[in-house]
Amino acid sequence: MFPLSAMAAALAAGLFTAAPAENNFLKTDGIYMRDWNGKGDTVWLYGVNFGGLFVHEPWMSPLLGATSEWDSRATLTQRFGAPAAQKLLDTYWDSWATAADFKNMAADGLNCVRMPVYFLDYMDDNGVWRLDSAGNIDFRRIERLVKDAGAAGVYTIIDLHGAPGSQNGNQHSGKTTGANLYTTARYQDMYEKFWTGMSTRFKDNPWVAGYDLMNEPSSTFPGAMGQNVVDLYDRAYKAIRKVDTNHIVFMEAIWAWNLLPDPKTKGWSNVAYSLHYYKWEQNTDYNLMKAFLDAKFADAKKWSVQYKVPHLAGEFTLFGNPQVWDYGMTRMVQDDWNWTFWSYKVTGKDWSWGMYTANDAAPNTPNVQTDSYDQILQKWGKWNTATYFTRNPMVADAVKKASALRKSVRPTPLASDGHALRGAGPKAILSGHGLKVDLPESGVWKLTLKDLQGRTLASQTGVGAFLTLPADGLQNGLYLLTSESGSVYKSTRVLIQR
């Protein structure tokens, strides 16, 4: 065995170099998503939205004295100044979302989080980037969340929930003064600039499943979206593809599939289509909810196949009937849906909206108009899940049961977490319980994994360009991986570090 204490010396000596990340990305393959650049295992994304984090919705997150994220920030800045307001926001973000939350998701079988973000955290209202102390665009917050999610085996979909100027004029876009994105050229330029910057930052990160271009966009919200949304999607897609060909681009249709074009007619590739599903009335009646869902299942099957795109149910709740949760979640898996329900945590006690619900929101909900700085700081620091929330069994048990119907494929890229390999041999990543090996070409291959003393630990012969060796029980350290096909023999050293 290669002792881990010698790892730094090995790196310094050039014993191995970082593996390329390009083979670890999710990509679309018809109506499915697969890892390894669309050539590996089929991956179904089963996850949840992390609502209430960067865009407050006072009905579900701790905010009094303002009706929107924009107004809340403006009030805090006016009262205490920009640096103090930012500290209050940081305190809230650090308490509402921690590394433990992604472990909670994974423990209930989830492998994906849809992360709503707000443009104002990255640029001001004039499109000037917010920079860190080194003069770079300040992506530290989203970088931390993506890293923590990946470490727990959870992919991240970066969802632009609040676009410049607002994409729908609703509270959940951050600002309620109109859907000004569609009428203001400056905001449209900022929208493109946002996605260019975000995709440039994450283009080499395989823990990101993809980019959700806008949440529920419509100039007539809650009316259906129009061609102006499709035009902005096209603009963002082209901007992303100039810098990032790795990631899936998610586009939302509100509220019908045929409001989005067949992607082939637009020259779009590696895209997935997303819809949100809410039945606002009579939603505890099992038969009515079943009929609602069955219609959606039939619709999705028709259009997903016709467009040859994967389908993501990007938001939904099945409200307060446990039988509906059981039926709906099971059918989603059986019908090959990818899904991220709303939401991970909410302030209401025992609400069907949350996988975790607050024990008592009242004492820790600040009023940004009247509470002192210290009061707001103290209250917003008291929202970590372990202390102030309880797992909601109706929701969490249903999604855990559903996700268990299929083996979960999780993001475990070697290169992005210090894992490395050297040589002209096969490339490998940890994937679930195995070491997945990317071979130079399809054929009959014999793989052998040995320790550095030459002892064979695993061997596999198979046909294809991708084979998997069992990795359960292997300790962290360096191993020798060889591949043989006829007269071709290649070897490499691979570092396993979980």
Mean pLDDT of 115-138: 97
Rounded Cα distance, 266 and 251, in Å: 13
Mean pLDDT of 469-486: 79
Q: Model pTM?
A: 0.83
> 317 and 177 in one domain?
yes
- C-beta separation of 356 from 51 below 8 A: no
DSSP letter (8 states) at residue 234: H
- C-beta separation of 114 from 340 below 8 A: yes
Is 148 part of a structural domain of the chain? yes
Q: Which of 251, 235, 240 is nearest to 203 (CA)?
A: 240
Least confident of 17-26, 42-51, 259-268: 17-26
> 199 and 317 in one domain?
yes
What percentage of the chain exceeds 90 in pLDDT?
Answer: 74
| Beta bridge pairs of residue 205 | none
Q: Which of 384, 403, 422 is the last residue of a domain?
A: 403
- CA 80 and chain centroid, separation: 34
Predicted local distance difference test score (pLDDT) of residue 425: 54
Is 408 part of a structural domain of the chain? no
- 6 falls in which pLDDT band (50, 70, 90)? very low
- C-beta separation of 449 from 428 below 8 A: no
DSSP letter (8 states) at residue 6: G
> 436 and 296 in one domain?
no
> 8 and 153 in one domain?
no
The domain spanning residue 482 has which CATH number?
2.60.40.3080
Q: Is the pLDDT of residue 114 over 50?
A: yes
The total domain count for the chain is 2
DSSP letter (8 states) at residue 364: G
> 424 and 398 in one domain?
no
Domain coverage including residue 429? 4-19+414-496
Rounded Cα distance, 275 and 307, in Å: 14
> 332 and 291 in one domain?
yes
> 219 and 319 in one domain?
yes
> 203 and 153 in one domain?
yes
Is 340 part of a structural domain of the chain? yes
Rounded Cα distance, 145 and 163, in Å: 20
- The upper half-sphere exposure of residue 122, i.e. CA atoms within 13 Å in the direction of its Cβ, equals 23
Is 258 part of a structural domain of the chain? yes
> 451 and 356 in one domain?
no
The domain spanning residue 397 has which CATH number?
3.20.20.80
Rounded Cα distance, 300 and 275, in Å: 9
Is 201 part of a structural domain of the chain? yes
Rounded Cα distance, 453 and 21, in Å: 29
Mean pLDDT of 52-73: 98
Is 487 part of a structural domain of the chain? yes
For 100, residues 6+ apart whose C-beta sits below 8 A from its C-beta are 384, 385, 386
Is 113 part of a structural domain of the chain? yes
Query: Which amino acid type is present at position 436?
Result: K
Q: Which of 381, 403, 425 is the last residue of a domain?
A: 403
Predicted local distance difference test score (pLDDT) of residue 14: 28
> 258 and 234 in one domain?
yes
> 429 and 294 in one domain?
no
Q: Which of 374, 403, 432 is the last residue of a domain?
A: 403
Is 409 part of a structural domain of the chain? no
Query: pLDDT of 357-395, one tens digit each?
Result: 999 999 999 999 999 999 999 999 999 999 999 999 999
Rounded Cα distance, 345 and 384, in Å: 10
> 179 and 56 in one domain?
yes
